[in-house]
């Protein structure tokens, strides 16, 4: 049995599969049981940093995917597919939780998804960053450097008002993992604890759900992250104490995190902007969250996201160029080649 760590929209799970006898279908079914995302709707990434896992052919052996023991898988729902039957499963526990078996429940059991059907406010005509009007001013897209520290830079911007403090945010995460070996054990982290700590302190490593859960607990503030392509909002909240009354806003493009802040005027300087906003009801009722959905819609219309499902592929055995899962499947059936990479 080989543990495979799975991150999904509701949290983190560890899958136990025999890589010698299991098939790809067994993996897809195990992912479905953990995430409630049907196999036909699963969009998979693997590794650290994540890379798209495209040629997923159910009848092939699991070994054809090249997944090794301890690897991390990330699954999201493909745009335009039917929603999962339920979204009430809990999230991974932040560092203050007493045991790894416990999980924190999102404040809203059914996150509201802002798709193309949302009616956005008219975009503000400006040569600066994208923004939309909201109560009390404008919600502004604050772009951080496009590097492997974008999550930590965004969190540093909204909580510390200085994106250059990304290394400080990394240290917060490392300290939380080090101090709570029960919650952040090897099974949850998907690798030895000290290895994970060393990796997360490196400026070249990415962050994700674990890091956002820890940071929400550290700052006692909700972190709401919206996916530009799908409009889905993930809420990361402390699992102890009363529900937070404040939140910060992040924007996720598929491979990059930015921040969103409230500006009093369209051309206000950064120091006049508010990065911590009050929670005012659920995502539909809260005007700031509606504006966040409208901002994501604006970015989506500008194609400001990466759809990993449409990446060009290359057979790593014969170097043939392919496009999408359909061509990869046909190539695999024709040649027996089952190892593909991004072109």
Side by side, which strands form the sheet with 2-8?
Answer: 11-17, 2-8, 72-77, 42-46, 51-52
Of 8, 43, 141, 150, which residue is the catalytic one?
Answer: 150
Q: Which residue has the tokens 């200085």?
A: 162
For residue 144, the 8-state DSSP code is -
**CB contact at 8 A, 262 and 271:** no
**Burial of residue 115, with CB atoms counted within 10 A of its CB: 0-12 exposed, 13-18 middle, 19 or more buried:** middle
Kindly report the backbone phi and psi dihedral angles of residue 245, in degrees, each rounded to the nearest multiple of 5, phi listed first.
-100, -10
Of 146, 147, 162, 267, which residue is the catalytic one?
Answer: 147
**CB contact at 8 A, 106 and 235:** yes
Kindly report the backbone phi and psi dihedral angles of residue 3, in degrees, each rounded to the nearest multiple of 5, phi listed first.
-75, 130
Taking the C-alpha atoms of residue 172 and residue 23, their distance in angstroms, rounded to an integer, is 39
Taking the C-alpha atoms of residue 37 and residue 203, their distance in angstroms, rounded to an integer, is 32
256 is annotated as an active-site residue: yes
Q: Which residue has the tokens 């046909």?
A: 330
CB atoms within 10 A of CB 153: 25
**Burial of residue 144, with CB atoms counted within 10 A of its CB: 0-12 exposed, 13-18 middle, 19 or more buried:** buried
150 is annotated as an active-site residue: yes
Those residues whose C-beta lies under 8 Å from the C-beta of residue 100, and which sit 6 or more positions away, are 93, 182, 183, 184, 185, 187, 188
Kindly report the backbone phi and psi dihedral angles of residue 9, in degrees, each rounded to the nearest multiple of 5, phi listed first.
-55, -20
- Write out the two tokens for 282: 């659920």
CA distances from 331 to 25, 55, 252, 305, 322 (A): 19, 10, 33, 28, 8
Of 26, 108, 175, 337, which residue is the catalytic one?
Answer: 337
Of 8, 218, 256, 331, which residue is the catalytic one?
Answer: 256
Q: Which residues are catalytic?
A: 147, 150, 256, 337
């Amino acid at each position: 049995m080989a543990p495979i760590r799975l991150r999904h929209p509701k949290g983190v799970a560890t899958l136990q599969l025999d890589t010698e006898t299991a098939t790809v279908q067994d993996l897809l079914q195990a992912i479905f049981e953990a995430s409630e995302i049907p196999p036909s709707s699963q969009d998979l990434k693997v590794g650290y940093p994540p890379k798209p896992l495209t040629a997923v052919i159910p009848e092939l052996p699991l070994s054809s995917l090249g997944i090794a023991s301890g690897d991390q898988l990330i699954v999201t729902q493909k745009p335009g597919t039917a929603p999962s039957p339920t979204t009430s499963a809990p999230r991974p526990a932040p560092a203050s939780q007493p045991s790894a078996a416990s999980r924190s429940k999102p404040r809203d059991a059914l996150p509201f998804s802002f798709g193309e059907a949302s009616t956005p406010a008219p975009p503000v005509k400006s040569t600066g960053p994208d923004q939309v009007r909201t109560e009390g001013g404008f919600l502004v897209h604050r772009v951080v450097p496009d590097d492997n520290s974008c999550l930590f830079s965004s969190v540093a911007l909204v909580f510390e008002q200085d994106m250059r403090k990304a290394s400080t945010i990394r240290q917060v995460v490392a300290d939380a993992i080090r101090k709570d070996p029960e919650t952040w054990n090897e099974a949850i982290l998907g690798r030895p604890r000290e290895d994970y700590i060393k990796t997360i302190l490196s400026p070249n490593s990415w962050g994700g759900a674990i890091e956002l859960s820890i940071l929400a607990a550290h700052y006692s503030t909700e972190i709401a992250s919206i996916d530009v392509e799908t409009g889905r909002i993930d809420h990361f909240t402390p699992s102890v104490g009363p529900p937070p009354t404040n939140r910060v806003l992040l924007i996720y493009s598929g491979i990059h995190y930015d921040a969103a802040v409230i500006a009093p005027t369209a051309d206000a300087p950064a120091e006049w902007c508010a990065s911590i906003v009050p929670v005012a009801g659920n995502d539909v009722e809260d005007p700031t969250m509606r504006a966040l959905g409208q901002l994501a819609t604006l970015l989506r219309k500008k194609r400001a996201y990466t759809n990993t499902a449409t990446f060009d592929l290359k057979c790593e055995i014969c170097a043939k160029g392919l496009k999408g899962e359909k061509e990869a499947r046909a190539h695999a059936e024709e040649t027996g080649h089952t190892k593909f990479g991004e072109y």
